[in-house]
Structure formats: structure tokens, C-alpha cells
Structure 1
Amino acid sequence: MDWITGILSVALSAAPWLLLGLLLAGLIKAFMPESLIQKWIGGRGLGSISRAALVGVPLPICSCGAIPTALALHRGGAGRGPTTAFLIGTPGVGIDSILLTSVLLGPVMAAARVAGAIFTAITTGLLVATTDQPEPITTADATPAKTTCCGGCCGEKKEEKTTSTATRLKQGLQYAFADLLDDISRWVVAGLLLAGLLITLLPPETLSGLSGAFWPLVLMAVIGIPLYICATAATPIAAGLLLTGMSPGMALVFLLSGPVTSLATLGVFRREFGNSALVMYLIGILTSSVLLGWLLDTTLQSLGINPAIQASQVQEILPEWLEWLALVVLVMLILKPLRRRVLGF
């Protein structure tokens, strides 16, 4: 029964912060219009690429969910560089996954994840920008190609209408606690189960031999790039791997390479931009994530910082009764019939 205790421990630590992250995601969805995003990242230079990477960080959109919005931005005049930076920065982290990372892996890993996602997005955007056309490519129809890899988090472009604050708030909360939660719930549950099993069944020294090695970082990136796993669901898995002895650098590589892309993203990217841009896209993600993972391992070893100890200290902040309450609420929200009956979502 130790594995049940391990799973429950991870779930209790994650539930309050996941709920808070979903709430903030709903607020962002309600009050950040898509027209404003288009204005910020329009263009082709370094400034546009950097803004696209930064704008994407708080947005609660998965890797496949970022495809329609990114393609709409590109067909509306944004260059390949900013489009790529948005396509990587958006699913790499979100406000919900940032909070979850702080709790399960500690503040140092959370900061490294955010900085790493931004660096990867900018670097890859600059590489892909070298294959850009001299003139913007625009079409009369800026409607993005549809994908079938996700549901409500795809954020398909809709006509913006003037609505009241209360209506926008309700729509944002419904998006967060219905559409977005439905998209990530299966992955989050699977991630929590896997994390609990890893913590219970594998002793801490199991993966310690991989710490500080270069080629395991490359292998982790190669494994992570074709995966389809959202940033939130990847967090408990990375926490479980870290507590079983995997180096922080390898955990960071998994957190960077897994959520930012998938086979579906690669296919759409190749169709839209061509083979040369796809090669630059893969090189950017692979080299950036491996470099950042190696740098994190080297830095933490020299400073004597253990992210696992930091995570355990953060998890003790909230009282146990609040964690149980949050877990019960989260389960109620995940169960669709109960959610519809209580909230009408």
C-alpha cells in the first residue's frame, strides 16, 4: 500500500496550486484579447521574437493548442521567427505549470524552467528566422488549419465581441475549469500516478549514475521531442524522476523538450514552413534544452543546491486540511457529470 501513499502525497501537494493555476489561466483567457497578442508579436526582428516568447509564457495552451493561434498569427503577417517563438514559448510553460513546478520541484527548478523555455523559444525562433522569406506571407483567409490532437485548449480564433466584464469572467472560468481541465486531466492523473509509483518503487540512488553526464541529456531530449504531454502533466513526472536520483539537468531537459512540441506539431510546422525550417526548429530545441540541462547540473553542483530538498520545504507551507479540500474540489471538477450539476460548466 506504500504506492497509494506515494500517489496521494503527490496529489495533495499538487492540488491547491493546480486549482490556483487554473483560476489564473481563466483570468488570462478572459482579459487578454487575441488582437493584443497579434499587435505585440507582429514583425520579424529580434524584438518581435523576444516578445512572442515572453507573451506565450503565461498563456494556458498545450503544444497542439498553440498551433491554430500561431498559424493565424503567421498568416496575418507575423514572420517565421516570432511565430516559432510563440509556438514554443506558449506550451513550454503556463501559469498553472509554473506554480506546480515551484511546489513539486522547488523555486530554483521553476525559475530554470521559465528561463529555459524563454531561451529555447528565442534561440529557435532566431534559427528558423534565417529561413524566412524577404516579404511577409499573408492570405485573405487567416483561419488556421484545424488539428485533431486536442480539444478546448486549441484556442481556435474567434471573432472578438464586446462583452461585459462578468460575461468575460464567466467565459474565462468555464474555459479553465471545463475546456482546459478536460484537455489536461487525463495527462495530469497519469502523471500523478506515475510520479507516485516512481517515488515508491525506485530507490533514490537508482538514476544517480546519470547525474552530470552529457549523453543522457541528449537521450532525454530525443525522447521528449516527439512526445505529446502538456506542461502541467510533465511536472509530477519530472518530480518523480528527480526524487529517484535523476539529475536536475535531465529533469529540466524533459520539462523543456516534452511539452514544447510533439509529432503533430512537427507535421504542421513542416507543412507550413518547409523542411529547412523544420531542421532549424529541431536543432534549436535539441541544442538549447541539452545546453541548459548541462548548465543547470554544473551550476547546482558547484553551489551545493538540492532542488528536492527545496521542494519538500515548499510543500510544507499549506496546512493538510487545505490540501485535502483542494483535492476533493479538483476531483469534483474533473468528473464531468458532477461538475455540470454543481457549476453548470
Structure 2
Amino acid sequence: MSAPPSLEAPPAPADRTERPRIAMPWLLLAVVLLLLAGRFLIGPQSASPAVQTWATIFVAICVQALPFLVFGVAISAAISAFVPASFWTRALPKKPAVAVPVAGLAGAVLPGCECASVPVASGLMSRGVAPAAALAFLLSSPAINPIVLVATAVAFPGQPLMVVARFGASLLVAVTVGWLWLRFGRADLLTIRKPHHDSFVGAMRHDLLHAGGFLIVGGVAAATLNVVVPREWLTTVADVPWLAILVLALLAVLLSICSEADAFVAASLTAFSPTAKLAFMVVGPMVDLKLIALQAGTFGRAFAIRFVPLTFVLAVAVSAVVGGILL
């Protein structure tokens, strides 16, 4: 009886895949520098306010997210290069159902934004961490880390329950999504990329190129929608509770603001209820345009098509319930 065929894809020829990638991170850096130069040199010459606004938002998103993306890629590369796979079997509970909330709580330890969480989660999966646990970490890390919670407290002075509500709602969504993936997720929907390099520099170079391109795609989409969507639409729905929650949740997806700064934007939306503001802060770090692009590029489109709507619906529903109770 013949042996079953191997499920692993054959390795790509090194000459055709690895050599072009050596110079590509420098190309990504050149693109970012050109964007900055275009913003300050070409932008002032443009007579169109819409073009200037688009350029400002696009550059702001990329520049704001890039340091955290590099930080996340560095951690992912360090995990791939220096941490043996056996470490994770000892660090996390053996039962995946227990590992999910532990990984969700671990997100409170690592400072960083949503861009950093995607490559870190990918690195964890490649080292043997259960996908459900890695996904719980992916969602919780940018939402409940110390920097985000301190920023929320500063943005909402005298409102400690807003910090509590954000922490509780975000963690509940992350753990619930992890458990749902553990129960209903299919392995064939999730692309787990094996480390392409054994060295720290090689792994970081590869991951930075891969994630950086999708960050730019997400930045273009977010900047375009920021210019296209009229601000007047927001004020007309602020007095309708459920509609206000849904609109601010969608706005969080479109604006794609870094999680360290979104609390200040939420606080400025004075026409909306505290619960609607909570939805803005819970949804944003878990579902936004640059995140959708990063997740699709890292884990596959089949995964993103299912994961993004699930996370969005749960984030909105949990925010409404938690906000209704605490706020």
C-alpha cells in the first residue's frame, strides 16, 4: 500500500524567490521616502484641497503604522529565529480551549498597534501555537495593551469606566472569536506560512516586504474613503442609538486609526453616546482597512472573508451590551 502524499507544498526554487527579495525592502523604504517627499514638496503645489487631504491622510497612516509594523515584524522574526517550537508547548496550556483566554490576556503585555499583531500572530502559528490562541492574541494585543489603556484614560478624564469597558469588551471579543475559530474554523481556510529563513535578518526582511505592501494598499483605501465620505452624514445619525453605534463602528473601519490614538478621536465625537464611542474603540483595533489587507495577505483571502465579518459583528454586539451595562 503506497504512502499518502505529503501535504506540504514543495519548496520554491531559491534562485527565483529569494534573490529578488533581498533588495525589495529597500524598494519599500524608497516608496515611503518618496511619499514623504511628495507630501512636502508636491502637496503644497496642488490647488485641490481634496488631493492635499488625501495625501496627508495616506502619509499619516503609513508613517504612523510603519514603526509598529517594523516592531511586530522584528518580534515575529525573533520568534522564528531564536525561540524553539518546544517553548510554546510549555508556555501555553496544552488544551486549546484554555490556551485561547491565556493568549488573549497575554495581549495586555505587549505594547503595539494592530499592524504589529498580524506578523507576530503569524510567527506564533509558524512555531506551533494553536491558530485559535494566536488569533485571540492578534485581536487583544492592540486593544488592551498598557499604552492603549493609558491613552484611553487620558482621552476620557474622570471616566474610568470607559477604560474598564474598553478592556473588558475587547478581551471578550478576542476570546470569543478564538473559541469560535477553535470550534468551527477549518484548517484549509488559514494559510500558515512556514519560516522562510533561519536567521533573524532574513526572516525580518521577508516579513517586512510581505506585510509592508499590504499596509500601503490599506492606506490607499483608507485615505480615499476619508476624502469621499462626507462628515455631515455623521451628525444626522448621532441621535439614533443603534444607528450611531453602527455608524461609528463602520467609521472606525474606514478611518484606520492606530489604536494608540483612536481614543482621542472617539472623545472628539461629542455628539455620540459613550456606547457608540466604545464601539469605535473596540472595532478599530480589530477591523480596519489596513488590517483587512494585512490579514488577507498574511493568512489568505479565504480566511479574511470569514474572519473579518465575524469579528466586526461580535465587536459591535459586545460593545453595545458592555456599553449599555457600564456606560
- What TM-score results when the alignment is normalised by the length of structure 2? 0.56
Does the residue aligned with 1:65 lie in a helix, a strand or coil? helix
How far apart, in 2, do the equivalents of 1:118 and 1:294 lie? Answer: 15
Q: Does 1:236 align with 2:264?
A: yes
**1:142-190 alpha-carbon deviations (Å, 9 max, x no partner):** 7473222799xxxxxxxxxxxxxxxxxxxxxxxxxxxxxxxxxxxxxxx
How far apart, in 2, do the equivalents of 1:259 and 1:141 lie? Answer: 28
Shift of 1:61: 1.0
* Alignment-derived partner of residue 250 in structure 1: 276
**1:251-304 alpha-carbon deviations (Å, 9 max, x no partner):** 11110111234333323323444444323322332222221332244325xxxx
Shift of 1:64: 0.8
2:317 corresponds to which of 288, 291, 307: 291
Q: Does 1:133 align with 2:187?
A: yes
Does the residue aligned with 1:148 lie in a helix, a strand or coil? helix
Q: Percent identity among equivalent residues? A: 21
Summarize the alignment of residues 307-318 of structure 1 with structure 2, pairs less than 5 Å apart: none
* Alignment-derived partner of residue 101 in structure 2: 50
Shift of 1:113: 0.4
* Alignment-derived partner of residue 122 in structure 1: 175
Instruction: Using the TM superposition, name which of 261-270 and 105-114 deviates more.
Output: 261-270
Rate the CA distance shift 1:137–1:282 in 2: closer, same or farther, 3 A: closer
How far apart, in 2, do the equivalents of 1:289 and 1:118 lie? Answer: 10
Summarize the alignment of residues 58-69 of structure 1 with structure 2, pairs less than 5 Å apart: 58-69=109-120
How far apart, in 1, do the equivalents of 2:283 and 2:237 lie? Answer: 22
Shift of 1:38: 7.8
Rate the CA distance shift 1:112–1:208 in 2: closer, same or farther, 3 A: farther
Q: Does 1:224 align with 2:252?
A: yes
Does the residue aligned with 1:145 lie in a helix, a strand or coil? helix
* Alignment-derived partner of residue 45 in structure 2: none
On the 8 A contact 1:238/1:254 being kept in 2, the answer is yes
Shift of 1:120: 1.3
Rate the CA distance shift 1:230–1:289 in 2: closer, same or farther, 3 A: same
Aligned residues: 218
Q: Does 1:101 align with 2:127?
A: no
How far apart, in 2, do the equivalents of 1:102 and 1:145 lie? Answer: 34
Rate the CA distance shift 1:269–1:100 in 2: closer, same or farther, 3 A: closer
On the 8 A contact 2:144/2:170 being kept in 1, the answer is yes
On the 8 A contact 1:212/1:294 being kept in 2, the answer is no
1:74 corresponds to which of 122, 125, 132: 125
How far apart, in 1, do the equivalents of 2:280 and 2:213 lie? Answer: 20
* Alignment-derived partner of residue 281 in structure 1: 307
Shift of 1:39: 5.0
Rate the CA distance shift 1:276–1:39 in 2: closer, same or farther, 3 A: farther
On the 8 A contact 1:79/1:132 being kept in 2, the answer is no
Q: Does 1:145 align with 2:207?
A: yes
* Alignment-derived partner of residue 89 in structure 1: 140
Rate the CA distance shift 1:42–1:228 in 2: closer, same or farther, 3 A: farther
How far apart, in 2, do the equivalents of 1:42 and 1:141 lie? Answer: 27
Structure 2 unaligned blocks of 5 or more: 1-73, 198-202, 216-230
**1:297-321 alpha-carbon deviations (Å, 9 max, x no partner):** 4325xxxx6xxxxxxxxxxxxxxxx
Shift of 1:115: 0.7
How far apart, in 1, do the equivalents of 2:238 and 2:298 lie? Answer: 38
How far apart, in 2, do the equivalents of 1:227 and 1:264 lie? Answer: 10
Equivalent AA in structure 2 for residue 79 of structure 1: A
Structural RMSD (CA) = 3.8
Structure 1 unaligned blocks of 5 or more: 1-28, 152-197, 306-345
On the 8 A contact 1:120/1:284 being kept in 2, the answer is no
- What TM-score results when the alignment is normalised by the length of structure 1? 0.53
**1:43-97 alpha-carbon deviations (Å, 9 max, x no partner):** 6722111111110123211111112211110111122211211111111132122
* Alignment-derived partner of residue 166 in structure 1: none
How far apart, in 1, do the equivalents of 2:255 and 2:181 lie? Answer: 21
**1:96-137 alpha-carbon deviations (Å, 9 max, x no partner):** 221222233221000000111111111222233322439996
Equivalent AA in structure 2 for residue 121 of structure 1: A
* Alignment-derived partner of residue 213 in structure 1: 241
